Amino acid sequence: MSGMRTDSRLGVSPPSAGDLSKRSGGPRTVLARTDQGYPSALERAADPPERLYVAGAVDALEEGIAIVGARRSTPYGLGCAARFARAAAEHGVVVISGGARGCDAAAHRAAMEAGGRTVAFLGGGCDRPYPAEHEGLFRQIVASGGAVVSEHAWDEPPLPYRFRLRNRLIASLARATLIVEAGLPSGTFSTADEALAADRDVLVVPGAITSASSRGANRLLYQGATPIVDDEAFADALFSLFGCLKQECVSSFGETAAVAKADGPDDPIVEALRAQALNMEELYEIARAGCGRIDAREWLMERLVRAEGAGAIARYPDGRWGPC
Question: Each residue of 95-122: pLDDT tens digit?
Answer: 999 999 999 999 999 999 999 999 999 9
- Contact (Cβ atoms closer than 8 angstroms) between residue 161 and residue 124: no
pLDDT digits (tens, 9 = 90+) for 148-172: 999 999 999 999 899 989 999 999 9
Q: Is residue 217 pLDDT above 60, yes or no? A: yes
- Contact (Cβ atoms closer than 8 angstroms) between residue 116 and residue 106: no
pLDDT band at 266 (very low <50, low <70, confident <90, very high): low
| Mean pLDDT of the region 35-62 | 94
Whole-model pTM above 0.75? yes
Q: Is residue 220 pLDDT above 90, yes or no? A: yes
Q: What is the pLDDT of residue 10?
A: 33
CA–CA separation, 54 and 148 (whole Å): 6
- Give pairs for 246-250: CB < 8 Å, separation 24+: 248/91, 249/87, 249/91
CA–CA separation, 105 and 130 (whole Å): 12
| Mean pLDDT of the region 233-260 | 64
Q: Is residue 292 pLDDT above 60, yes or no? A: no
Contacts of 314 (CB under 8 A, 6+ apart): 75, 76, 79, 308, 321, 322, 323, 324
pLDDT digits (tens, 9 = 90+) for 168-196: 999 999 999 999 999 888 878 889 989 99
Q: Is residue 295 pLDDT above 60, yes or no? A: yes
- Contact (Cβ atoms closer than 8 angstroms) between residue 132 and residue 161: no
